[in-house]
Structure 1
Amino acid sequence: MACEAASRRRHHALAVALPGQGHVIPLMRFCKKMAQQEGFTITFVHITGAYFTSEQRRQPPLNLHQHHDGKQRDGEDEGGMTLDIRRVQIAMPDPSQLAGAGAMECFFAAVDSISPQIEQLLLQPYDPPITCLISDLFITGPTQRVADKFNLPRIAFYPSSQSLLLLANYIQEGALSLEEILKALEARERLKDTIFKEGLPGLPTIKVRDLIEHITENSKQRFLWVFRPDLVKDAPFTTFPEELLSKTQGRGFATHWVPQVKVLSHQSTGGFLTHCGWNSTLEAISHGVPMLCFPYFADQFLNAKFIIEEWKVGLGFEESKESGLIAKEEIQRVIQRLFETEEGEHLHSNAKAFRDACVQSYLPKGEAFNNIQSIVNSLT
């Protein structure tokens, strides 16, 4: 019986994420949950490349620390548990140097070439030895080939919602024509006063100055604004607008980066203006923060639909019929709805109910807890 238990505990998963913040972070969170299982070891593969910026190369993928035994492991988990999560790096080719029809095709061609390096990792004398692979669904090719070659089980990790995964079964025809998209891309001069690329069909647009005017003159709400200077190529604002800082009179703070989860978990945070990426959506819901939805890419529109219409933990913006933009009056109206109306109180109440449900889900016998247990049991 003791031997059987010891054997069951000695799992070691090699985890491979698609290189990108929206893929690395959720996979590491999943790996942390797996590593909480008794005796479960994770080796997390960080894909890098010489073409990344020097700043990107010197930053570790997540909060990893060097231990006295020389192995890089994750520090203490939220529950105070020391997790055996190790880190290794492999490089992939520069996508721009590969032949292909477009940037995305070249990127995935570069990712697809990493199989030999993953094989080399599996040949290393790990203790305990690798017993399974965990990899992003978007890099199924190179990781499944290796799993098959070494006869290892592979856990496919999908970093978006299940609804998006099922959506492809219901799409008959594309919503946009290539001609429309190319025409919009040619209108580059329209980019000049916007945060997001203006004119792409289906993408809402907010003007920087409209946001500034509302925050500085029309709203008394305190705010934390994370302003990425590289958000729009060739945009007029390369640093945070000084006029905003000078007019807010201590009501706000602007920065290029914040620890988003810590901010959302703070009791003073009452709303979250978000693009509705799946990571941000889950983080807001699990911390009971209602959202102001500003989707612009990929799964974000579907996520926003659930946030607003199904779960009722957020609000959306309406575009002007004349300009196709989101006017400053609309910004003011939506923020007031969240903080100054009975509707906003219901949104906050719903968000807190979801937060409580998330907490219960990870307790013993909760749904998320049981799901993790089922995955581990499937490996034995």
Structure 2
Amino acid sequence: MDLQQHVLVVPCPAQGHVKPLIKMAYNLAYHGIKVTFANTEHVGGKILAAMSESDKEQCPIRLVTYSDGLESSPEKRDGPGMMDDLKKVMPDNLEKLIKQINDSDNEPITCVIADLSVGYILEVARKLGLKQVAVWPAGPGSLALSLHVPKLIETGIIDENGSPIGNELIRLSEEVPALKSSELTWSCPGNPTVQKMLLDYSLDVKQAAENASIVLCNTYYNLDSSSCAMIPNVLPIGPLPAIKKLNPSSGTLSSQDSTCISWLDKQPANSVIYIAFGSTTVFSQKQFNELALGIELSGHSFLWVVRPNIVNGSFPEYPNNFLERTAARGKIVEWAPQEEILAHTSVSCFFSHCGWNSTMEGLSHGVPFLCWPYMWDQFFNKNYICEMWKVGLSLEHDEDGMISRHEIKTKIYDLLTDDGVKTNALKLMENAKKSVNEGGSSYENFKSFIKYLEA
């Protein structure tokens, strides 16, 4: 009798990484692969706290934890040096975990599937004689950019610290949107130490990607075939949300406020602006005020996700009487079941930070974007959304570096009256559905991945 295949899935310990990998893990389990999902103790505790009892009972994968080594310095978990700290302890702790599982389990681990952000874990798999598969939870364009770092240095476009040498736009190919020097994924003007750290991270990602036998990516081939062509061994299997219906709380690190769905049920079709900026975006209080007043000036109903830590240094404070003035047409929650919201008929557009998970979820539901990127790959994603796919509009800063309330009001109006953008969004939704339906590119790629695991 053949031994059942048993994979260990290891995400980077952050919301934007855990959620897509847990979706992929559920899909593997539904296809008969035994899956153990390894989180840090800190992240694992948050996931369990956010899951309902029925979610826990029906969970098709085994959740395990390991130490991130930061128990005595928890403040480092949100700092720029977290990746360096993880790299020091994670390989040894994962090796111990694999050996513990294999000593106690009749079906030992046969493959490690690691987030490329912690891609050095694949060296542990190689050392133990296991299959090594990488996952890139962001877009293929940002991975192609990491793979091009040495060439960008060699050709004098950036220096060895990642700073652009000139002011020209940076282009990986004619088919890929150009980047301004300030939009590079490692760019951190004014903080050369953090920028060098992020550049080194990109180089680590490059090395792990080139060493992996397969690089799974949450995209579909036709969405960005040019970037996919630049990545060795890439296997697009997205959009992950559409492969298999999952319980909405799967993989979230915060409790979701499901009352917003019943609120949406009472709103007319295409009437609500959904506003959510992910788990890391931070505003100044002044900018937060402009955002609130811009939403109010638009005159539209809105559903707004406002984390307690969305304002730098304190809890967010709303402009005077804003909550009272907008109570009849607005709902504000701390965290929300985003995919359910984007699938709702009352939602007209997605006011977003353009993180890749949000980008794929919006594309999967044919929702136009209003783009306000914050950091990392979000600027690159914004360029795809606005320039290449033409499914959204971006906001422009004023001379003081602010996004004004009037800019927000104007762009909301422009977006919601642009029939071309909505038409393009619906086309991409149909393409996304085709890719994951039987015979589609992502469907076939996922089938071939299952065969690779079972071989």
Q: TM-score, normalised by structure 1?
A: 0.78
* Candidates 52, 60, 70, aligned match of 2:48: 60
User: Are the counterparts in 2 of residues 34 and 372 from structure 1 also a CA contact under 8 Å?
Assistant: no
Aligned to 2:197: none
* Candidates 208, 211, 224, aligned match of 2:303: 224
Report whether the alignment pairs 1:42 with 2:58: no
After TM superposition, the structure 1 = structure 2 runs for residues 266-345 of structure 1, keeping only pairs within 5 Å, are: 266-320=344-398, 322-339=399-416, 341=417, 344-345=418-419
User: Are the counterparts in 1 of residues 289 and 318 from structure 2 also a CA contact under 8 Å?
Assistant: no
After TM superposition, the structure 1 = structure 2 runs for residues 242-253 of structure 1, keeping only pairs within 5 Å, are: 243-253=321-331
**One-letter code aligned to 2:18:** V
User: Are the counterparts in 1 of residues 282 and 312 from structure 2 also a CA contact under 8 Å?
Assistant: no
State how far apart, in whole Å, the 2-side matches of 1:372 and 1:249 are. 46
Alpha-carbon displacement from aligned partner over 1:55-85 (angstroms, at most 9, x marks no partner): x835428757579xxxx6654xxxxxxxx31
Residues 298/152 of structure 1: CA separation in 2 closer, same or farther (3 Å cut): same
Alpha-carbon displacement from aligned partner over 1:143-195 (angstroms, at most 9, x marks no partner): 22321222000111111111111113163212379996159x9xxxxxxxxx8
Residues 263/294 of structure 1: CA separation in 2 closer, same or farther (3 Å cut): same
Report whether the alignment pairs 1:144 with 2:139: no
Consecutive unaligned residues in structure 2, runs of 5 or more: 165-180, 195-280
Identity %: 31
Shift of 1:14: 0.6
User: Are the counterparts in 1 of residues 293 and 319 from structure 2 also a CA contact under 8 Å?
Assistant: no
Across the aligned residues of Structure 1 and Structure 2, the Cα RMSD in angstroms comes to 3.1
Shift of 1:356: 1.6
* Candidates 76, 85, 96, aligned match of 1:109: 85
User: Are the counterparts in 1 of residues 283 and 312 from structure 2 also a CA contact under 8 Å?
Assistant: no
State how far apart, in whole Å, the 2-side matches of 1:287 and 1:328 are. 27
State how far apart, in whole Å, the 1-side matches of 2:52 and 2:33 are. 17
Consecutive unaligned residues in structure 1, runs of 5 or more: 76-83, 186-194, 199-204
Quick one: higher RCO (CA 8 Å, sep 6+), 1 or 2? 2
User: Are the counterparts in 1 of residues 8 and 37 from structure 2 also a CA contact under 8 Å?
Assistant: yes
Shift of 1:363: 1.3
Residues 88/179 of structure 1: CA separation in 2 closer, same or farther (3 Å cut): closer
After TM superposition, the structure 1 = structure 2 runs for residues 1-380 of structure 1, keeping only pairs within 5 Å, are: 7=2, 10-37=4-31, 39-49=32-42, 57-60=45-48, 63=51, 74-75=58-59, 84-94=60-70, 97=73, 103-123=79-99, 124=101, 125-141=104-120, 143-168=121-146, 169=148, 171=152, 172-173=157-158, 174-175=163-164, 181=190, 196=282, 207-216=287-296, 218-235=297-314, 237-238=315-316, 243-320=321-398, 322-339=399-416, 341=417, 344-379=418-453, 380=455
State how far apart, in whole Å, the 2-side matches of 1:131 and 1:61 are. 30
Residues 330/62 of structure 1: CA separation in 2 closer, same or farther (3 Å cut): same
**One-letter code aligned to 1:251:** R
Residues 295/95 of structure 1: CA separation in 2 closer, same or farther (3 Å cut): farther
State how far apart, in whole Å, the 2-side matches of 1:273 and 1:260 are. 12
**One-letter code aligned to 1:167:** L
State how far apart, in whole Å, the 2-side matches of 1:29 and 1:61 are. 18
Residues 109/156 of structure 1: CA separation in 2 closer, same or farther (3 Å cut): same
Aligned to 1:201: none
Aligned to 1:190: none
